[in-house]
């Protein structure tokens, strides 16, 4: 959701300001006035150019404004009897342009997404409806039906021993029907359970 609020802060590079000769030659009082005026210009866009009015707005003695105003004016321009900061206004315009581009990009992305969704909905409406987990009524019905298939094929009848002629199968089937000792004798084993021969 977009907000129609102005930018809460401006970005400033300390090295860029410190490198400027007018800033380096200012007194500490003039530097304070410069920053106070920049902050006011960011919030209120402009300040009155008349020193008496400027002193009232900033809440400082008139004499301090008179002493330092000439030193800070290289950082400002006078437009229609108001002091504005061209640097801050340029930055404000940059932020507004970026916000506008982001808004337009968001609207275009939303339109593309909605077109894809509408296209998919139209394709789905042409298909035969299928059971989906989202439809709780159908899920409950499916839940009552057993998904295990019963084997309808007839079981393979058990073959009698020796029908295939496989000695292993014959021996195995004989072992199922006799005791351990009988199995040992039938298989020709020397060891009978529990005793050695």
Residue with the bigger pLDDT between 118 and 139: it is: 118
Angular region, 31: left φ>0, alpha ψ -120 to 50, beta rest? alpha
Residue 78 sits at φ, ψ, to 5 deg, of -105, 125
- pLDDT for position 162: 47
In angstroms, the CA 124 to CA 61 distance is 75
Question: What's CA 25's distance to the chain center, in Å?
Answer: 49
Listed by start position, the domains of the chain span: 14-89, 167-196
Average pLDDT over every residue of 25-33: 94
Rounded alpha-carbon distances, angstroms, from residue 107 to 84, 94, 116, 152 = 34, 20, 14, 60
Q: Report the 10 Å Cβ neighbour count for 30.
A: 19
Residue 180 pLDDT greater than 70, yes or no: no
pTM comes to 0.52
Residues 6+ apart with CB under 8 A from 114: none
What class, spelled out in words, does domain 14-89 have in CATH?
mainly alpha
Q: What is the mean pLDDT of residues 81-104?
A: 90
């Amino acid at each position: 959701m977009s907000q129609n609020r102005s930018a809460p802060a401006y970005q400033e590079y300390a090295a860029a300001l410190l490198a400027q000769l007018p800033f380096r030659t200012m007194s500490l009082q003039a530097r304070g006035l410069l920053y106070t005026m920049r902050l006011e210009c960011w919030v209120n866009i402009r300040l009155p150019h008349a020193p008496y009015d400027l002193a009232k707005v900033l809440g400082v003695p008139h004499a301090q404004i008179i002493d330092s105003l000439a030193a800070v004016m290289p950082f400002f321009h006078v437009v229609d009897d108001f002091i504005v900061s061209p640097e801050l206004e340029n930055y404000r315009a940059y932020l507004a342009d970026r916000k506008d581009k982001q808004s337009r990009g968001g609207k275009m992305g939303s339109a593309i997404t909605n077109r894809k969704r509408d296209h998919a909905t139209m394709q789905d409406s042409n298909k035969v409806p299928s059971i989906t987990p989202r439809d709780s009524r159908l899920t409950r019905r499916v839940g009552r039906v057993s998904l295990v298939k019963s084997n309808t094929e007839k079981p393979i009848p058990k073959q009698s021993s020796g029908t295939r002629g496989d000695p292993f199968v014959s021996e195995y089937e004989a072992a199922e029907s006799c005791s351990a000792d009988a199995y040992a004798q039938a298989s020709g084993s020397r060891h009978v359970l529990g005793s050695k021969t």
